[in-house]
C-alpha cells in the first residue's frame, strides 16, 4: 500500500504547477504564416500558398475558392464577400465591400404583382448579383503577389478529383436535402440518389471545376461578362428572374473605410453599413458603461448585461441599417459613446426586457464561412463570404454547378423602411469581418451565423479584453445568441453552469439550452500578429470542421 501511495505522489508531482485549463485546443504559434478556415483542406490550401511566397490575400483567395468546393452550402462564387486587410509595413487598415446589388428590374411593385407580401427567401427573386469574384479581383490587384491563375488550383483539384465530406458539413448538407431536391441542377449535382453524401464519401463537382478553370484562365471577366455570365442569365431567364447583362457587367466591389470604437483601451474595427458590424460596435459601447471586470466572467450579471446590450443594439440595427447609397444611416450617432450611455440606462440589472424599442441616435458629421490569414510579414486578412442561408437561393446555375445566394431575402417590401427593395440597391447584410488592436498586437477575427455575428463579435472582444483569454480560448468560450429581435428568448450553450442559467431565468430570460458547442453560436477563426516579437498566433473554433494551419517552414531547402 505504501508503495502505491508513493507512486501516486510521484505521478502527482509530474503535474505540479499545471492545473489544467478550460479550453480544448492550443493556439497555433509560429513565426511563419497561418491559414485559419472552417475546413481543413481549405486551411491547408491557404498554408501552401503562403509557403509558395503568397501574401495573406493570396492565401485567403485560394482558401475561399477551396471552401466554395468543400463547404458548398455556406459559400461560393455565387455569393458575396467582405474583407478587412491590415498592411503591416504601412500600418494601414483597408475594408472591402463585395456585396452585390438587386437587379435593375426587381422592385416592390413587381413582387407585389406576383402576390408577394414579403421578400422571398428562396428562388430566383431572392437572388442579387454575386459580388465574390469581383471582391477577389480587387483584393488581388492591391495585395496579391502570386499569379491569379495559381490561386485556384487547390479548388480546381478538389472539385475535379473529389474530396471526402466532413462531419459538420455533412450534417448541414443533410438538413438541406428538401431544398436541393426542389432544383433540378441541385438534385443532379448535390444529391446521390436523393440523399446527401455521407461522412467520408468522396464528392465531385466537375461543373464547378470548369467554372473555376474559366475564372483562373480568363479572370473575373469570365464571371461578369463571359461564359459564366451567359449561364447566369440563361438560368435567371428560365426561372423568370430579372437579372440582365448590365446588372452583372456594371457591378464592382468597392473599397470602404472601416469604422471603429475603443473598448477599454482596444480599438475594435468593423465595416460600415450595409453590414451589421455597426451593431457590434454599439453593443460594445453599451457594455463598456458597466464594470464587467468586477463581475464573474460568464456569470449571471455578466451575461445579463451583454444580452440586454444586444437587444438595444439590434433594435437600432433593424430600424436604421441599410445601403447608405440609398438611405441615410446614422452611423456616427450609433457608435457615439454618449448615445451608448443613454441606451445603457435602459438596462435593469434585475430584469430582462422583452420589448426593446430603437433609440434616436444623432446623425453626426445561417450560412457563412469566415477565414483569417496572416503571412510571415504580419499582414492580416479578415474575410467573410457567404450564400446567406444553406445553399442560398436553392438555385444552381446551369452548366457551372454553383448556387446563387439569397441575399435579396433581407430586403423589405415596406417602401418607408431604409432597407426597402430598390433596383441596384444592396440589402442589409449579416456577414461581417472584424479586427482589433492594442499597441503592437493586431487581431483579425470573425464568427459566422447570420444575425449571431455582431453579438458574437462583442462577446469575443469581451473574452479577450475583460477576461484576458487568448484567442483560442475566446473562440471556444461558451456563448449566448438571440437570433430574434423581440422577446426574452435566448439560446445559451450547456457549458454555462446550471446555477448561472437559473439566475438568468429568474430575471426573466427564457433560455433554450443548446449543446456544448452549438452551431447557432457560430464557428469562427482568429489570427494574431505580435509586431514586437514577429510571432503569429492562430485559432479555430471547434464548432466547425476547420483548423488553423501553419505555413510549413522551409526545412527541406
Q: Point out the residues that are catalytic.
A: 368
Q: How far apart are CA 504 and CA 217, in angstroms?
A: 56
Among residues 522, 154, 534, 254, the alpha carbon closest in space to that of 374 is found at 534
Which residues, in sequence order, are CB contacts of 184 under 8 Å at separation 6+?
none
d(CA 545, CA 40): 7
List beta partners, residue 97.
82, 254
According to DSSP, residue 452 is labeled G
Q: Which residues pair with 275 in a beta bridge?
A: 429
- Which strands sit side by side in the sheet containing 535-540, from one edge to the other? 28-30, 535-540, 524-530, 441-447, 434-438, 266-270, 259-263
**Three-class HEC string of 273-336:** CCECHHHHHHHHHHHHCCCHHHCCCCCHHHHHHHHHHHHHHHHHHHHHCCCCCCCCCCHHHHCC
Q: Which residues contact 105 (CB under 8 A, 6 or more apart)?
A: 242, 244, 423
Cα separation, 324 vs 317, whole angstroms: 13
Give backbone dihedrals phi and psi of 62, rounded to 5 degrees, phi first.
Answer: -60, -45
Residue 57 CA to residue 300 CA, distance in Å, equals 41
Strands 547-550 and 34-37: antiparallel
Burial pattern 335-357, b for ≥16 Cβ within 10 A else e, equals bbeebbeebbeebeeeebbeebe
- Residue environment code for 263-302, b if the CB has 16+ CB neighbours within 10 A, otherwise e: beebebbbbbbbbbbbbbbbbbbbbbbbebeebeebbbbb
Under the phi-then-psi rule, with left for phi > 0, alpha for psi from -120 to 50, and beta for the rest, what region is 130?
beta
Output phi, psi for 38, to 5 deg. -90, 5
| Contact criterion met (CB below 8 Å) for 182 and 395 | no
Asked if 180 and 122 touch (Cβ cutoff 8 Å), the reply is no
CA 352 to chain CA centroid, nearest Å = 28
Q: Are 182 and 153 in contact (CB under 8 A)?
A: no
Q: Strand 434-438 and strand 441-447: pairing?
A: antiparallel
User: Residue 243, Cα to own-chain centre: how many angstroms?
Assistant: 26
Q: Which residue has the cell 464573474?
A: 296
Amino acid at each position: 500500500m505504501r508503495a502505491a501511495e508513493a507512486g501516486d505522489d510521484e505521478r502527482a508531482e509530474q503535474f505540479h504547477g499545471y492545473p489544467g485549463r478550460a479550453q480544448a485546443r492550443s493556439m497555433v504559434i509560429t513565426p511563419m504564416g497561418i491559414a485559419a478556415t472552417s475546413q481543413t483542406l481549405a486551411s491547408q490550401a491557404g498554408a501552401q500558398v503562403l509557403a509558395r511566397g503568397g501574401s495573406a490575400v493570396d492565401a485567403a483567395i485560394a482558401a475561399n475558392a477551396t471552401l466554395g468546393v468543400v463547404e458548398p452550402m455556406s459559400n461560393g462564387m455565387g455569393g458575396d464577400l467582405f474583407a478587412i486587410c491590415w498592411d503591416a509595413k504601412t500600418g494601414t487598415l483597408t475594408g472591402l465591400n463585395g456585396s452585390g446589388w438587386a437587379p435593375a428590374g426587381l422592385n416592390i411593385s413587381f413582387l407585389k404583382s406576383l402576390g408577394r407580401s414579403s421578400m422571398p427567401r428562396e428562388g430566383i427573386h431572392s437572388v442579387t448579383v454575386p459580388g465574390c469574384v469581383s471582391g477577389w479581383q480587387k483584393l488581388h490587384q492591391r495585395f496579391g503577389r502570386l499569379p491569379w491563375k495559381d490561386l485556384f488550383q487547390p479548388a480546381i483539384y478538389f472539385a475535379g478529383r473529389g474530396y471526402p465530406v466532413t462531419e459538420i458539413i455533412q450534417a448541414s448538407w443533410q438538413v438541406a436535402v428538401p431544398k436541393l431536391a426542389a432544383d433540378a441542377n441541385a438534385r443532379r449535382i448535390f444529391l446521390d440518389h436523393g440523399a446527401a453524401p455521407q461522412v467520408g464519401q468522396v464528392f465531385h463537382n466537375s461543373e464547378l471545376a470548369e467554372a473555376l478553370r474559366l475564372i483562373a484562365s480568363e479572370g473575373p471577366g469570365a464571371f461578369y461578362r463571359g461564359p459564366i455570365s451567359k449561364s447566369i442569365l440563361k438560368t435567371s431567364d428560365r426561372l423568370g428572374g430579372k437579372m440582365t447583362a448590365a446588372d452583372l457587367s456594371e457591378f464592382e466591389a468597392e473599397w470602404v473605410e472601416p469604422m471603429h470604437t475603443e473598448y477599454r483601451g482596444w480599438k475594435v474595427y468593423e465595416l460600415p453599413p450595409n453590414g451589421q458590424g455597426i451593431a457590434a460596435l454599439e453593443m460594445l459601447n453599451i457594455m463598456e458603461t458597466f464594470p464587467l471586470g468586477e463581475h464573474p466572467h460568464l456569470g449571471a450579471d455578466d451575461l445579463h448585461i451583454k444580452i440586454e446590450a444586444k437587444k438595444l443594439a439590434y433594435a437600432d440595427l433593424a430600424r436604421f441599417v441599410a445601403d447608405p447609397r440609398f438611405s441615410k444611416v446614422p452611423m456616427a450617432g450609433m457608435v457615439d459613446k454618449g448615445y451608448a450611455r443613454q441606451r445603457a440606462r435602459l438596462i435593469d440589472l434585475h430584469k430582462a426586457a422583452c420589448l426593446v424599442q430603437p433609440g434616436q441616435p444623432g446623425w453626426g458629421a445561417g450560412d457563412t464561412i469566415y477565414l483569417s490569414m496572416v503571412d510571415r510579414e504580419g499582414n492580416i486578412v479578415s474575410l467573410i463570404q457567404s450564400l446567406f442561408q444553406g445553399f442560398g437561393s436553392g438555385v444552381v446555375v446551369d452548366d457551372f454547378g454553383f448556387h446563387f445566394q439569397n441575399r435579396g431575402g433581407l430586403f423589405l417590401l415596406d417602401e418607408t423602411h431604409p432597407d426597402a427593395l430598390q433596383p441596384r440597391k444592396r440589402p442589409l447584410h449579416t456577414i461581417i469581418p472584424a479586427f482589433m488592436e492594442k499597441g503592437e498586437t493586431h487581431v483579425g477575427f470573425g464568427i459566422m451565423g447570420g444575425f449571431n455575428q455582431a453579438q458574437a463579435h462583442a462577446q469575443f472582444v469581451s473574452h479577450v479584453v475583460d477576461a484576458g483569454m487568448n484567442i483560442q480560448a475566446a473562440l471556444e468560450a461558451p456563448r449566448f445568441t438571440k437570433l430574434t429581435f423581440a422577446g426574452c428568448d435566448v439560446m445559451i450553450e450547456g457549458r454555462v453552469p446550471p446555477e448561472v442559467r437559473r439566475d438568468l431565468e429568474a430575471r426573466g430570460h427564457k433560455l433554450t439550452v443548446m449543446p456544448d458547442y452549438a452551431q447557432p453560436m457560430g464557428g469562427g477563426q482568429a489570427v494574431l500578429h505580435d509586431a514586437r516579437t514577429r510571432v503569429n498566433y492562430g485559432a479555430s473554433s471547434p464548432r466547425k470542421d476547420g483548423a488553423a494551419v501553419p505555413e510549413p517552414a522551409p526545412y527541406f531547402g
